[in-house]
Amino acid sequence: MPLLVVGISVLVLLLLMTRLKVNGFAALLLVAVGVGVVQGIPLERIPDVLADGIGGQVGDTMLTIGLGAMVGRVMGDSGAAQRIAGSLLAAFGPRGVQAAMVVTSMLIGVTMFYEVAFIIIVPIAFTLVRVTGSKLLWVGLPMSVALSTMHSFLPPHPGPTSVAATFHASIGLTLLYGLFIAVPVGALVALTWPRLPFVRRLDPAIPQGLVTEREFTDEEMPGLGWSLLVALFPVVLIAGAAVTEMADSDDTPLLHLVAFVGSAPIALLLTLALAVWAFGPRTGRSLDDVAASCASAARAMAMILLVIGAGGAFKNVLVEGGTSDYIKDLTTGWAVSPLLLAWLVAAVLRVALGSATVAVVTASGVVLPLLAGSGAHAEMMVLAVSCGSIAFSHVNDPGFWLFKEYFNLSVTDAIKVRTSYTTVVAVLGLGGVLAVEQALDVLGL
């Protein structure tokens, strides 16, 4: 039974990493090979399946995470991150540091992938931790929760956008209804979770190499304008591309150019070039110093990228072994509300496969035949699938490893924190979807 294989593989992975202290990269690969053998993948194909999983995952994330880490380190070593952090403190006050993180993350996260926005904002979170003396999770966890919610619920993120196309739903209405759900749910969980006793007991240190330890004087730091320009430059490029694509469907050279410049790797590459000049020669800092900052960020990211790649291999073995097809066959014909079924199928696929994108695409295919006669709004079906795909993030989710490594947590603690908050966000999101669907019916919309 594929779901039993998934459950056992997760337990074995936890045993290897917590009790036997096996390196995360090696443990993930060992378990992936074992799962491939058990699920009947031919032995000669398993290396290719692993390689495809690693290549697909690292190919999607290496440029984004690597370039983003370099931008963040250049900003940190120049004092730009401290300048932005100080301005947030001045605006929100020391007691409002979590609110500052939530507002910043939601504004940036509306159009940016979780990983991209995470990499851009996390240097500011690290700096706020150092400046205020707060615990890392007290500042960083609200950021992660807010970004997870925005990424999972709202177009133009890939999951909701692809499901909207399947259901022929309005992207604009999906975004509008989604904001009514995502903002209160994300803010509630983001401000609640750091206050829970099991989270407050954790006190991880900032990982070495990802942020400068130096404290700058006011004269040494670049101006707020330049600091914000560099921080928001990729946001403007990526958001502009997303808005242009939604507003203009014509196949024109200008649209291709905007899409190219607004793709995450190109936007971050241009941002890095801007940061190197703005916080290097423009301020009298040598290019050698800026290059050293980039090299330091690259060294710090090496193991994180290896672990994320191995998570992709684990996910790919599960997909190739037929787990998604098994779940699709299992749930076909269930006599439940289409909104609830859409959420449930996406959540089960998320648990089994780790990939939110695979979960939403498969779940939408399962429940699509139910949409026509159900009376449910297509936009609410999109949101039901999308919020189900955030649930139960754990060791087969590459985003789980990004969260774990950046917040310097053990596997067990990362499961306690991330798996719990993603599940609660998904459940509250389902409640919001059902409430909005009911309100639309009452209003006759």
Per-residue pLDDT tens for 160-182?
877 787 788 887 788 788 888 99
pTM: 0.74
Return the amino acid letter for 71: V
* Selected residue with higher pLDDT from 156 and 140: 140
What's the rounded Cα separation, in Å, for the pair 285 and 280?
A: 4
| Average pLDDT of span 293-297 | 82
Closest CA to 93 of 122, 132, 130: 132
pLDDT class of 192 with cuts at 50, 70, 90: very high
Closest CA to 28 of 45, 1, 46, 50: 50
What are the structure tokens assigned to 411, written together?
A: 């596997």
- pLDDT, position 322: 74
- pLDDT, position 364: 74
pLDDT class of 9 with cuts at 50, 70, 90: confident
What's the rounded Cα separation, in Å, for the pair 225 and 391?
A: 38
- pLDDT, position 210: 63
> Do the beta carbons of residue 5 and residue 38 sit within 8 Å?
yes
Mean confidence (pLDDT) of the chain? 82
- Residue 416 burial class via C-beta count within 10 angstroms: exposed 0-12, middle 13-18, buried 19 and up: middle
Residue 302, CA distances (Å) to 18, 200, 210, 313 in order: 22, 29, 12, 17
User: 359-381 pLDDT, tens per residue?
Assistant: 776 677 667 766 666 677 888 98
> Do the beta carbons of residue 434 and residue 47 sit within 8 Å?
no
What are the structure tokens assigned to 71, written together?
A: 């931008």
- pLDDT, position 359: 73
SS3 336: coil
Counting residues of the chain whose pLDDT is more than 90, the rounded percentage is 18
Q: Which residues contact 303 (CB under 8 A, 6 or more apart)?
A: 25, 405
pLDDT class of 331 with cuts at 50, 70, 90: low
- Residue 205 burial class via C-beta count within 10 angstroms: exposed 0-12, middle 13-18, buried 19 and up: exposed
Taken as a whole, the chain contains a residue count of 445
* Selected residue with higher pLDDT from 388 and 254: 388
* Selected residue with higher pLDDT from 405 and 24: 405
**pLDDT(188) > 90:** yes
User: 63-90 pLDDT, tens per residue?
Assistant: 777 887 788 788 878 888 778 878 888 8
Which position has the token pair 């240097």? 123
Of 92-101, 260-269, 319-328, the poorest mean pLDDT is in 319-328
| Average pLDDT of span 340-367 | 77
Angle at 379 between CA 158 and CA 332, to 5 degrees: 85
- pLDDT, position 274: 93
- Residue 214 burial class via C-beta count within 10 angstroms: exposed 0-12, middle 13-18, buried 19 and up: exposed
What are the structure tokens assigned to 55, written together?
A: 């290549």
| Average pLDDT of span 301-326 | 74
- pLDDT, position 358: 67
What's the rounded Cα separation, in Å, for the pair 357 and 319?
A: 12
| Average pLDDT of span 122-137 | 88
What's the rounded Cα separation, in Å, for the pair 22 and 225?
A: 46
SS3 206: coil
User: 95-128 pLDDT, tens per residue?
Assistant: 889 998 898 888 777 766 677 778 778 888 888 8
Specify the DSSP element, H or E, that contains 285: none
User: 42-56 pLDDT, tens per residue?
Assistant: 888 999 988 888 887
Of 172-181, 245-254, 292-301, the poorest mean pLDDT is in 245-254
